[in-house]
Amino acid sequence: MKKKKKHSTHQAPRSIASFSFGDPQPVLDGHQYMDSLGVYLVDNGTYYQTPVPFTGLARLLYANAYHGPLLEFKVLMVMRGFKASPAVARKDMDAVATDFTVFANAYMRLHRNGYGEVVRASHLPAINMRRLKEPGRYGLILENGQIHRFEEAEVFHFKNYDVAQTIYGKPRYLGAIQSMLLNEDATLFRRRYYKNGAHMGYVFYTSGADLEEEAQDRIQKAIEGTKGLGNFRNMYLHIPGGEAKAVQILPVGDFSSKDELEKIKNISRDDIIAAHRIPPIMANVIPTNTAGFGDIEKFDKVYEKNEIAPVRTLLKDVNAVLKPALHIDWELPEETEE
């Protein structure tokens, strides 16, 4: 009988592997999302696609602790002092203001009487509204994928001006999307770090130490015990007759001493606040200096004048299709002061 050849358990040493990071990708790169911000007819030429996916903008509201609450704060500011009319309920205008703040587009359905006069205007969800191919007509994408077509002049469209196209409005905060996602990624990284429990962050290195295989197994199990529940444990190791530097703890990525999370969170937060043009004192940012951010009432007046009043003026455009008795308006704080 032929003897079976014994396979050697010794493996050839592997070559050192290395990699490098690619270049940063700019907004103007041909493969970036900003290249597809135009509007095109889709669904066999039925309606125009939005310049950015509205579902993506809706998800961004929950990406970090700042973006969504800042937009909600802006809506509350816009609705402060709103005077409802028999034609426009407060809840409808609140939804319109929210859609316009998030998507830079908002829609109202105009209900007419037998004489063709607009007697009521109700909110339509902007996330599902589309401009149809026919001028002046809009459609609502239903849950089954079908499109409900409105009659001409049945929908009133609020939008800001976009220099790239005239079909839809486009949010001004798009330039801060990368910072919004970076803020989210930093938080998710920290959560995964703690959930995984791999807090050791070191290489346990032994050289020249007389360790039996059983002792090596015990050390390995002790190190593995630093994961998950019961992490941050200390370990005692004694090697009789061990030489100097026979056992070394080499830090690799000591997250506890080189934590960049706070810096990343603060920088991305500042980008988000700047994109929304909201003063830090009104964004609930805790000041790091002793002087603080100044008088909040002064900031409130300036913000009301420069950011909120123009939005209210745009929303008042619906008055153009309403009779004077049905007009909406705002009672500003300055007008109520004696």
Residue 145 sits in which domain range? Answer: 40-196+258-338
Task: Answer whether residue 144 is part of any domain.
Answer: yes
Distance CA 218, CA 225 (A): 11
- Residue 69 has a pLDDT of 94
- Residue 2 has a pLDDT of 53
Instruction: Give the dihedral sign, CA 63/69/75/79.
Output: positive
Distance CA 164, CA 170 (A): 9
> Are residues 111 and 184 part of one domain?
yes
Reported as type and span, the H/E element at residue 83 is: strand 82-83
- Residue 150 has a pLDDT of 97
Task: Answer whether residue 286 is part of any domain.
Answer: yes
pLDDT in tens, 107-156: 999 999 999 999 999 999 999 999 999 999 999 999 998 999 999 999 99
> Are residues 207 and 188 part of one domain?
no
Three-state SS letters, 229-253: CCCCCCCCCCCCCCCCCCEEEEECC
Instruction: Give the dihedral sign, CA 88/92/94/99.
Output: negative
| Matching residue, tokens 């937060």 | 269
Tokens for 48?
């125009």
> Are residues 175 and 65 part of one domain?
yes
Task: State the number of CA atoms in the 13 A half-sphere of 94 facing the CB.
Answer: 9
12 touches 131 (CB < 8 A): no
pLDDT in tens, 270-300: 999 999 999 888 887 776 666 667 788 888 8
> Are residues 216 and 155 part of one domain?
no
> Are residues 192 and 72 part of one domain?
yes
> Are residues 219 and 297 part of one domain?
no
Task: Answer whether residue 15 is part of any domain.
Answer: no
Give the residues of the chain that fall short of pLDDT 50: 15-22, 24-25, 27-31, 33-35, 229-230, 232, 254-258, 335-338
Distance CA 328, CA 326 (A): 7
Tokens for 89?
């309920």
Report the number of distinct structural domains present in the chain: 2
Could you tell me how many residues make up the chain?
338
Reported as type and span, the H/E element at residue 189 is: helix 177-196
- Residue 274 has a pLDDT of 93
- Residue 229 has a pLDDT of 46
- Residue 257 has a pLDDT of 41
Task: Answer whether residue 213 is part of any domain.
Answer: yes
CB atoms within 10 A of CB 178: 13
> Are residues 307 and 164 part of one domain?
yes
> Are residues 304 and 208 part of one domain?
no
> Are residues 182 and 73 part of one domain?
yes
50 touches 41 (CB < 8 A): no
94 touches 11 (CB < 8 A): no
- Residue 27 has a pLDDT of 47
Q: Which amino acid is at 218?
A: R
The dihedral over CA atoms of 97, 98, 100, 101, expressed in degrees to the nearest 10, equals: 110
> Are residues 145 and 105 part of one domain?
yes
> Are residues 103 and 225 part of one domain?
no
Distance CA 63, CA 68 (A): 8
- Residue 188 has a pLDDT of 85
CB atoms within 10 A of CB 8: 6
